[in-house]
Structure 1
Amino acid sequence: MTYTLYGMAASLYTARARSYMRTNGVPFVEIKAGGEEFTQTVVPKIGRWIIPVMRTPEGAIIQDGADIIDHLDAAGFSKWPIYPEQPVLLVVAHLFDLFGSHGLLRPAMHYRWNFDAVNLPFLRSAFRDVLPSGLPTEAEDAAFTQASGRMRKAATAFGVNSDTFALVEERYRAFLGLFEDHLRDHPFLLGGHPTIADYGMIGAMHAHLGRDPAPLHLMQTTAPNVFRWVERMTMPESFVDETFATAAGRLFDAAALPASLLALMRFIAEDYLVEIAAHVEQANAWLAEQAGEALDAAYEARTQAKLAGFATFEWHGARISTVVLPYRFYLLQRLLDARDGLPQAESGNVDTLFAETGLSKLFQLRTDRRVERIDNREVWSRA
């Protein structure tokens, strides 16, 4: 009963799914996305080239890291509850899932594509995962140049340009310091075992920032405990910290969260809240301009909802524009749904925590139409 993961060693979102599969003992093989099996058999079934994709032993095709993890969790593979039972921790876990998946894209793209003197030989090798096998050297070089060119262009769409290089590095170093402080005393984000918070964070922190040579050196030399967390999140063996051995797998008490976790939440408020707010505002303005028939047609066609353009906002004194990706709204909705589904007393505890950490506005950020995932695609809901 073996699963198949189609992806790329250097892929952020593949890393997220792979981390869950490794740490929870899922029997799987990984096949590179440039191979014939993926391009000729899987891509036609999902209608586009995108990774990660998982094939179940029964032959079902599931695309997207979150969906893959949820499918395997429902199948009973999780060694520990990846969605915390404590309501406050559940919403916090979704916060880090959102931030890790999208709030770390700027440093992830910057440290990959703007350090060619150090990174380029490694990246040329890593990108063979998405190239056809057996290409002559000249053809392989040309294919890499084309693929890397697309990704360099994508980096600018996430606000990475020569005017922001220094600021991106400053903010990432600040984050790395806070994460290092937290992991010095705690093996995982929310305590004694990984949750969806860790799986959301590991994509950028492993595939880009904990594997590419330039940021890997930075992590190992300035944040060794973060690097050790990356190792724990990518190994099949269970990790048990002696501090937690008497209550294996226990998570924090939601009523007494460590100061280091609150500091990380405040960083998210300072670094990412303005961006996701600008994206929701831009998406709603775009939705208001669309005729209902056009949106319903897009729904029927199962089109990707990447149509809302760019959002512009002030980020630590710099004015930047970033591409609006409705998948962010899908993850944001998971956070909002977790909070909205709580009894009043519990939601009050969540609201208090998010107010204390500067994140209250997050609960007001709602697109006028929900983003749904149907047939492995993001689409705008009908209502």
Structure 2
Amino acid sequence: MTYRIYGSELSPYSVKVRSFFRYKNLDHEWIPRSPAVQAEFQKYAKLPLVPLVVTPEGEGIQDSTPILERFEASHPERSVTPGDPALAFVSALLEEYGDEWGNKWMFHYRWRYQPDVWSTAERIAQQMMGAQGTLAVAQARAAVAERMMGRLGFVGSNDKTEPLIEASFAKALGLIDAHLASRPYLLGGRPAMADFGLWAQLYEAATDPTPGAIMRASAPNVMAWLRRMLAPQSEGDFEPLRDLMPTLMPLLTEEVGALFLPWSAANAAAIARGDKSFSMRLGGTDWKQEPQKYHARSLTEIRRKFQSLKGACGLEPLLAESGCLKFLAGYRS
């Protein structure tokens, strides 16, 4: 029973799903999306986005987190969900932080600096054009670069927010590196949902010139984890929350509670009001951008998960201490 994963090596959400399938030992075929397979892709895809998983029965599934959750439920062996409900929620929250806030780091660096722009545009163009020749690739590269640089605003990247995005990247990188100094994965001896979400964004960043150089110079434990997560293996079990918190709490407090969730709540509020843009004070920076509809849906989903698990022992005090609780409970103080 072989699954087909249509994706791109340059898509964090694609490599996230591939890494998960590898860990679960799910038989699959990796199919790079290109014009050669476009007709087949369109047959199964509801949206023009990768990744797309096609089941042996011919069902097309999209959106990385629902894909992981579906196959975690149907293939519970080698579980990526801790048995402790509080730790399971922390894992889901960190996955969400990686998917939605970590994507800002990756996308900003990829399309803000010229060496990164040309590096990525070249790889995309080669994937698109195949064997059509040097001139075709060069023309496609220029078109990709122009289009993607114009989309920086979609993740909130602009001249005013640039310092905050880059400071957040450096801060998170240092905190994650310290946390991984004494364990192979974020929550202990085996990968969790948190690993797949954060890893995918940082893996992509490591392939780009500017953030990759920063990572290689300052985060050796992160770099080792990136390699490990390409084909992750269980090296033990999840650790208890009390053992993880000394080095995980700073990430929850300084990044998730101080930046990601306040931004996510403001974004959702702007969409609810029907605003074309929103402004807020975030991390000492005047942040302004167009609201992102998908992120409002994902905030609703993480709040739903919180409501279902909020009675878990130790969860609410942990979230209150980190500054996350007021945003997850749906109110602000």
* TM-score, shorter chain, exceeding 0.5: yes
Amino acid at match of 1:109: F
Structure 2 unaligned runs (5+)?
none
Q: 8 Å contact 1:339–1:350 — kept in the other structure?
A: no
| 1:1-383 equivalent positions in 2, closer than 5 A | 1-37=1-37, 39-76=38-75, 79-117=77-115, 119-120=116-117, 122-128=119-125, 130-207=127-204, 209-235=205-231, 238-240=233-235, 248=236, 250-267=237-254, 268-286=256-274, 309-342=276-309, 344=311, 346=312, 349-365=314-330
Return closer, same or farther for 1:210/1:41 CA change in 2, 3 Å cut-off. Answer: same
CA distance in 2, matches of 1:259, 1:350: 15
Return closer, same or farther for 1:351/1:343 CA change in 2, 3 Å cut-off. Answer: closer
Deviation string 1:267-308 (CA, Å, 9 cap, x unpaired) is 21112122111112112212xxxxxxxxxxxxxxxxxxxxx6
The SS at the match of 1:312 is: strand
Deviation string 1:181-206 (CA, Å, 9 cap, x unpaired) is 10001211111111111111122111
CA distance in 2, matches of 1:195, 1:277: 25
Amino acid at match of 2:176: F
Q: 8 Å contact 1:34–1:128 — kept in the other structure?
A: no
Cα distance, 1:216 vs. partner? Answer: 1.6
Q: Indicate the RMSD between aligned Cα atoms, in angstroms.
A: 2.2
Return closer, same or farther for 1:310/1:20 CA change in 2, 3 Å cut-off. Answer: farther
Return closer, same or farther for 1:163/1:363 CA change in 2, 3 Å cut-off. Answer: closer
Return closer, same or farther for 1:171/1:343 CA change in 2, 3 Å cut-off. Answer: closer
The SS at the match of 1:131 is: helix
**Which residue does 1:244 correspond to in 2?**
none
Q: 8 Å contact 2:122–2:141 — kept in the other structure?
A: no
Q: 8 Å contact 1:9–1:129 — kept in the other structure?
A: no
Structure 1 unaligned runs (5+)?
241-247, 287-307, 367-383
CA distance in 1, matches of 2:206, 2:94: 18
Identity of aligned residues (%): 25
**Which residue does 1:291 correspond to in 2?**
none
CA distance in 2, matches of 1:323, 1:194: 34
Deviation string 1:290-332 (CA, Å, 9 cap, x unpaired) is xxxxxxxxxxxxxxxxxx6433222222222234333323433
TM-score for the superposition, normalised by structure 1: 0.79
Cα distance, 1:133 vs. partner? Answer: 2.9
The SS at the match of 2:6 is: strand
Q: 8 Å contact 1:113–1:152 — kept in the other structure?
A: yes
TM-score for the superposition, normalised by structure 2: 0.90
CA distance in 2, matches of 1:129, 1:329: 34
The SS at the match of 2:80 is: coil
CA distance in 2, matches of 1:151, 1:231: 27
The SS at the match of 2:49 is: coil
Q: 8 Å contact 1:9–1:126 — kept in the other structure?
A: no
Cα distance, 1:44 vs. partner? Answer: 4.5
